[in-house]
Structure 1
Amino acid sequence: MSRRSFLKSTALAGGAAILPARSWAQVPGANSDIRVAVIGFRGQGGGHINTLRRAKGVRITALCDADRDVLEGRAKQMGVEAYQDIRKLLESKNVDAVSIATPNHWHALATIWAIQAGKDVYVEKPVSHNVSEGRRAVEFARKHNKIVQSGTQSRSSLTGIKEAVAWVKAGNLGKIKVSRGLCYKRRDSIGKVDGPQPIPPGIDYDLWCGPALKLPLMRQRLHYDWHWVWNTGNGDLGNQGIHEMDVARWFLGVAELSPRILSVGGRLGYVDDGETPNTMVIIHDYPDAPLIYEVRGLPSKSGSNSMDKYKGAGIGIVIECEGGHVTVPSYTAATAYDKDGKVIREFKGSEGHHDNWLKAVRSRKVEDLNADILEGHLSSALCHTGNISYRLGEQSSPDEVREGIKADKGLSEAFDRMVEHLRANGVDIARDKVTL
């Protein structure tokens, strides 16, 4: 199929279903196996396969990946059907549900097509590559009454994070002053090439690009480093950051976008083919309390292998309240501290996130989902709008930044800490300006 034909079929996602009604999957009954296909499994999808193979009452019946070499070997090993083209997979009558772990630019379209084909969906985070796509995915899930789970697994930490959220909302530490997400995660340079690179053998590059622009490969690695290019990725906000953004929003109890967003940052410390910021501070200025998110991809200091931490978290969430704070350092646990830093309560425990999805597939109740597509969309949109703010910004000196953010005490404090972090890595933002 030509790329023009492919994009034409992509456009149909906004209108009529792409598949005839006779191909729609049957709704799994309480006593029947749920037949699942995994779409995209070079990275995160491998974990989907392992989890689903352990689940009771589930059979993986098909795999789909644009990389033929990876696809055929794994499908043969598992004894399941292999599809390089997702559209062919969705015609299968042997699939009830799909688990999607493609690159970000495919998440929403794969979800919408699967819904139109009568399948329930588990989709990795972020649920979309942009805000508009996410909104459409929610609309299609509701229109077709499908069970669609977002891959933000902290939502299934029921006796851990969920209890911590309820405990804070009950006022045990007073009012929330700041809900802070942190992604202090090492991200090294992806290198710099002089010209277009060859596409790895076995990959159908048309299918791999799908709804994204089909651009020459201008980086050393096709795989994973797509995260750091705007055409296919969303930077660390949409990679690791979506997890913490989701929990930070959960604590605030907000179900809408913030009225004002401001960001400052840049891709600093090296020059490479990446486009997304590796250092960033964002504020979502909600009326009751702000949500501040911090990204740091450089180490604690030049030459070090360690990463910074803030109140016990490096990759996590810190909820700062009038009477203390709660630190969430993982996907399944949280600890509450008083104003003197003394531990006053611990929260631990989680159920399987895929297991929760499968339970809802059987019950047909959206309310059984711990991370319904709407929750995934709202949190993904906070990441997208943070990136939009950054991309609309202008390069600025430290004095210009401080003048621009002086009304935001929390953002100013986070910026000053970011400057110290960069200075420890030999980055002078008076020379290598940041974007505000």
Structure 2
Amino acid sequence: AGKHVYVEKPLSHNVWEGRKLVEAARKYNKVVQHGTQNRSGGAQRKTAAFLAEGKLGPIKVSRGLCYKSRKSIGKKPDGPVPKGVDYDLWLGPAPERPYNPNYFHYNWHWHWDTGNGDIGNQGVHEIDKARWFLGKNTLPLKVTSIGGRFGYEDDGETPNTQIAVFDYGDSQLLFEVRGLETEKYMGEAIGNVVHCKDGYVAGYQAFDPAGKKIPMDVKDDGRATNHFRNFIEAVKAAKPELLNADVLDGHLSASLCHLANISYRLGELRPITKDDPFTCEEGNEAFNRIRKHLTENGVDLSKTQLRVGRTLSFDPKAEKFVNDPEADKLLTREYRKPFVVPENP
């Protein structure tokens, strides 16, 4: 209760504990900065301001991309805990399991007990910008996610290929993960593309519908800085409001990753060649590009199954799913004692 905290991304392992972090930060009036450093970048802040002014008309889709090649981690046997490692402490709230190098650094990202896949690893940076650019300080009304772990068989559990569509009612946030070699989308690989009525933004540059560059003539808000400096200055002033990436922003963006993964994990396997899985045009367009992408990586679609996630309705105020107890269970976890997050921080 007495410390200010800089929390690396993602802020949380599940939605419930992220909300508990927000409650604790507010209760004790502490400075809690999330490690989504793009919030302090000059080009990023200029882009957010430009879009907020509506100079390209209403936003239709805010797209985040995590096209980051990830090699197979292979399969490895359990083994002895390395010297100097307190393995019980390292596991923390996760269930006990024997030490295995494929479940340790860095590969813990690819297991549900410890990680969130690349959408919550690299992807949380781009999903945070996608939400920021969309101007949404809340969670969505619906989510659907599809994908799989394609191109190899290894010890990893999380998808290396994933599409998530978040429905905000008046607009959509769409996120794509590709872990196999791929071409860029509209010039971007790890970045964002925002589709508006009268143009689009890609790579922190604005374009009209014909692809002609448009100047971003917006006023500098003076808050672009080194992200760590921003944290230290807020700590010195004891003013959380000075933060560029407050704990609430971290919670909302990390929760988008969690919601996508919940939809995915509750999904069913079906042939990847079957009809389009989404109810929206943008999601199905991304899916058809994924099919082409997998074929180019040598994946035989006739022998491949896709996990099609459950479309989940969500109550953003209650931070609960609508009439889906099975999905609600995945908003939190069973915490291994004594590593238990308290109900009332």
| TM-score, with structure 2 as normaliser | 0.85
Tell me how far 1:429 sits from its aligned partner: 3.1
8 Å CA contact 1:178, 1:290 repeated in 2: yes
Q: 1:270 to 1:219 in 2, by over 3 A?
A: farther
Query: Which deviations, in whole Å up to 9, do the C-alpha atoms of 1:131-163 show, x marking residues without a partner?
Result: 011000000001111110000001112x32112
Q: State whether structure 2 residue 189 is matched by structure 1 residue 189.
A: no
* Structure 1 counterpart of 2:265, from 380, 391, 396: 391
Give me the CA root mean square deviation.
Answer: 1.6
Tell me which moved more, 422-431 or 227-236.
422-431
The residue type equivalent to 1:396 in the other structure is R
SS of 2:188's equivalent? coil
Match of 1:320 among 195, 209, 215: 195
Match of 1:337 in 2: 207
Q: Distance in 2 between matches of 1:189 and 1:229?
A: 14
Report the alpha carbon displacement of residue 428 of structure 1 after superposing the two structures with TM.
Answer: 2.3
Alignment of structure 1 residues 31-430 onto 2, 5 Å = 116=1, 118-157=2-41, 159-193=42-76, 195-220=77-102, 222-300=104-182, 308-328=183-203, 334-345=204-215, 350-402=224-276, 404-405=277-278, 407-430=279-302
Equivalent residues, number: 304
Return the letter of the residue paired with 2:299. Answer: V
Q: Return the letter of the residue paired with 2:249.
A: E
Deviations 1:26-82 (A, max 9, x none): xxxxxxxxxxxxxxxxxxxxxxxxxxxxxxxxxxxxxxxxxxxxxxxxxxxxxxxxx
Query: Larger % of helix: which?
Result: 1
- The letter for the 2-side match of 1:133 is E
| Cα distance in 2 between the residues matched to 1:430 and 1:281 | 20
Matches within 5 A, 1:6-21: none
SS in 2 for 1:430: helix
Question: Which amino acid letter does the alignment assign opposite residue 247 of structure 1?
Answer: K
Percentage identity across paired residues of the two chains:
52
Question: Matches of 1:220 and 1:144 in 2, distance apart?
Answer: 38
Q: What is the identity, as a one-letter code, of the residue corresponding to 1:207? A: L
Matches of 1:230 and 1:264 in 2, distance apart?
16
Give 1:350 shift.
4.0
In structure 1, give the amino acid aligned to 2:259: T
- Structure 2 contact 102–108 (Cα < 8 Å) conserved: no
TM-score, normalised on structure 1? Answer: 0.68
* Ranges in structure 1 where 5+ consecutive residues have no aligned partner: 1-115, 301-307, 329-333
Could you say what secondary structure the match of 1:281 adopts? strand
Rounded Cα–Cα distance in structure 2 between residues aligned with 1:233 and 1:139 = 23
Q: Which has the higher contact order (CA 8 A, sep 6+)?
A: 2
Letter in structure 1 aligned against 2:59: I
Contiguous gaps of at least 5 residues in structure 2:
309-345
Taking structure 1 as reference, are residues 311 and 196 closer, same or farther at Cα in structure 2, changes over 3 Å only? same
User: Match of 1:420, as an amino acid?
Assistant: K
CA distance in 1, matches of 2:22, 2:117: 23
Q: Tell whether the 8 Å contact from 1:248 to 1:291 is kept in structure 2 after alignment.
A: yes
Match of 1:20 in 2: none
